[in-house]
Amino acid sequence: MNKSIKLQDLGTKDFKETWDYQEQLFKGILDTKIKNRREAAGLQTDNYFLFVEHPHVYTLGKSGDLSNLLLDENQLKEKGATFYKINRGGDITYHGPGQIVGYPILDLDNFFTDIHKYLRFLEEIIILTLAEYGLKATRSDGETGVWLDVGTPFARKICAMGVRASRWVTMHGFALNVNANLGYFDNIIPCGIRGKAVTSLNVELGIKTVDEAEVKAKILKHFAHLFEAKFEH
């Protein structure tokens, strides 16, 4: 079992380019697993973790409803945003500057083979990270992701999640609003959930800009602890 994870920070990168790159890494792990099964090759599978920030983009998951995007093509152009239908679970979401996006591309055979546990771990990593900033974040029953003030009229989502898995290999991941322009969420019904607000870490802390490098370091610390993994740069 290989518990080492290759960490790559891609900086700002186009969504489609990043998606293609994820698919390439994902396929590489799957190919190794198939070879192992067919030929008893005994090859080690790799694990990756990508940090990235995307230019303004809306993505719609497999189970999503296109009517949750409230913009037409011309309005998307005016906003400087793009749109993609993609192969993760979940409905529609927004990615953009000021958001930390994490894509773990893991062979869960190296860790544990339980997708439910995997999603709960991703949520827990964000909950523990936000706790370091004095925020009490929680899960919301039946709604993947991380929220504040669940069960009150002020419930708001701070981190969206959507993953794909095949033969216990994962891709896609989470998007944590750190210094995000929340106006872009007004153009969608986020995750298909009406009447729920969206927030960002800088708004919650009442400061202009949160140090994103610091947030990433905290995420990696909690990830390594929960997954009993080590990161390679």
Q: Residues comprising the binding site for substrate?
A: 88-95, 160-162, 173-175
List, in sequence order, every beta strand (DSSP E) within the chain: 4-12, 48-53, 57-60, 82-85, 92-95, 99-105, 137-140, 143-148, 156-166, 169-177, 197-198, 230-232
Q: Which residues are catalytic?
A: 191
Neighbours of 45 (CB within 10 A): 20
Cα–Cα–Cα angle for 190, 194, 199, nearest 5°? 50
CB 87 within 8 A of CB 164: yes
Query: Which among 189, 148, 211, 173 has a CA at the least distance from the CA of 25?
Result: 173
Q: What's the first-to-final CA gap in the chain, in angstroms?
A: 19
- Which of 193, 208, 103 minimizes the C-alpha distance to 157? 193
Asked whether the beta carbons of 196 and 155 are under 8 A apart, the reply is yes
Q: Which of 219, 9, 227, 52 is nearest to 132 (CA)?
A: 219
Question: Which residues carry a binding-site annotation?
Answer: 88-95, 160-162, 173-175
